[in-house]
Amino acid sequence: MSEKIWFITGASRGFGRLWAEAALARGDKVAATARSVEGVADLAERYGDAVLPLAMDVTNREQVANAVARAHAFFGRLDVVLNNAGYALIGAIEEGKEEDVRAEFDTNFFGTLAVIQTVLPYLRDQGSGHIIGVSSVAGVVAHPMVGFYHASKWAFEAMHESLSQEVQGFGIKVTLLEPGAYATEFSSPASMKVAGGLEAYQDMRMQLFARGADMPLGDPRATVPAILKIVDAERPPLRFFVGTEGMPQAKAAFASRLSTWEAWEADSTAAQGESITRAVPV
């Protein structure tokens, strides 16, 4: 197996850090980005020229362009582009301030978009590459009090699904990783922000935090073999649940959706009316 060149956002902590270290430990090379280069500088101290530490805020297009260009110039190619940067905004839909919701989308969706749009010319030119987006079980199902995070991840998922169909002809692969709850820093203030505080939603908010406190958490280190297997696969999956939380939730959610659609199918069909054929402009 030849070495792979990784470009990782949010590499200073959590999954980004863990998977960067796993890649380096097996002999791959990593452009490790974080908002502060100090967060990834120690990787270069440990692994030397196999690591290129880069300061990059995904919400800053100029920094993204500079980081991608430097990584490509330094290593000569990019094989795995892992978009890991993101955070959760907690609160009822009524509670969210527009600027807070936009800030979450700027990181979770538009930041990822900036990286993807910047790396694609390089990947198309080399005729290969693997774009991996760290989504969440929250990108498949939705629960109360987490609606803004769900919305950012549902948009994230749709973008990657379309992307996978657009770039497959260029030899580029796309995978969505959908983790459940893990013992990472995701619940820290850096990765989770709380919106609002309306009394009407206080009980619901307390229930959410209580469930979170009692939730069994996966071991982040156990994810490494699966992630490396996906990276090395000739035909990696478009979607991959990381851990055991996703499959039961997805089955229940899709069964409920199908049941509702089927119950109203006659009305849906009637709403079609008589089909109309329009000439397509040339």
Cite the active site residues: 135, 149, 153
Extract long-range pairs of 144-147: CB within 8 Å, 24+ residues apart.
144/92, 144/204, 144/208, 145/90, 145/91, 145/92, 145/201, 145/204, 145/205, 145/208, 146/88, 146/90, 146/208, 147/92, 147/93, 147/96
